[in-house]
Chains A and B, each alone.
Chain A
Amino acid sequence: SQQGEEDPQALSIQEGENATMNCSYKTSINNLQWYRQNSGRGLVHLILIRSNEREKHSGRLRVTLDTSKKSSSLLITASRAADTASYFCATETQGGSEKLVFGKGTKLTVNP
């Protein structure tokens, strides 16, 4: 079942602007991850944030996690046309399972 719900479903911005995508989930988690998918391709891992962390940075990416609200956000700063892709959050639930449950994704378009 799909746990994560991203919003917006689609986002179109201009190069140089920041892009913010949100993800909500339903159960207790060990960690939350963000992945990127170029059209018709596999997924690439971007960043992982553990349940005891609140914020994490990696280059132009900033991820926040609010376990009380069961939500996360991904911020891409100074976006580039090459950032155009679909972005998915994925949660690893507590209980020892190695499975990831993916959200529905946000399709980001960065216009040059």
Chain B
Amino acid sequence: GAVVSQHPSRVICKSGTSVKIECRSLDFQATTMFWYRQFPKQSLMLMATSNEGSKATYEQGVEKDKFLINHASLTLSTLTVTSAHPEDSSFYICSARDPGRTKNIQYFGAGTRLSVL
């Protein structure tokens, strides 16, 4: 299947710092990528839809200035958690659709566990 790479897999940072997470589609071009957040033992919550060459579409309640999304190329989207605080600690997962395959299926990265001290 299509491969989505997410980096880093784990990051520990101090409160107040910014953290960048990368999501790459390795063998296909993705005009749309998705960013999710997952709390322990809970489901995935969609944070935003990342559109190549345009602004991301944020879900209600998600602060766009807090979670900066950049989708500068057809294979890369980045999520930057700005001025991270302990409450931002979570598991962040990206996904992408491969237009060359069944378009409704999302292919997921392995996730990034963010721990803010």
**What is A's interface to B at a CB cutoff of 8 Å?**
2, 4, 30-31, 33, 35, 40-45, 48, 88, 92, 98-105, 107
Is there an interface contact between A41 and B32, defined as CB atoms closer than 8 Å? Answer: no
Point out the residue from A4, A48, A104, A107 that lies within 8 Å of B104, measured CB to CB. Answer: A48
Q: Which of B42-50, B70-78, B81-89 contacts A (4 or more CB under 8 A)?
A: B42-50
Q: Is the interface of A mostly helix, strand, loop or mixed?
A: strand
Contacts of A41 in B (CB 8 A): 110-111
Apart from A42-B108, A43-B95, what are 11 other A-B pairs with CB-CB below 8 Å? A40-B91, A42-B93, A43-B106, A44-B108, A45-B105, A92-B104, A98-B49, A99-B34, A99-B46, A102-B44, A105-B43
Q: Is the interface of B mostly helix, strand, loop or mixed?
A: strand
Contacts of A43 in B (CB 8 A): 44, 93, 95, 106, 108
Interface size in chain B (residues, C-beta < 8 A): 26
Is there an interface contact between B46 and A101, defined as CB atoms closer than 8 Å? Answer: yes
Contacts of A33 in B (CB 8 A): 104-105
Is there an interface contact between B32 and A98, defined as CB atoms closer than 8 Å? Answer: yes
Determine the residue in chain A with the shortest Cβ distance to B105: A45
Is there an interface contact between A99 and B49, defined as CB atoms closer than 8 Å? Answer: yes
List the 10 closest pairs (A to B, CB-CB), nearest first: A42-B108, A43-B108, A42-B110, A102-B44, A104-B43, A102-B43, A45-B105, A42-B111, A42-B109, A41-B110
**How far does the alpha carbon of A42 sit from the alpha carbon of B2 in the complex, in Å?**
13
- Whether a CB of chain A sits under 8 angstroms from the CB of B54 is no
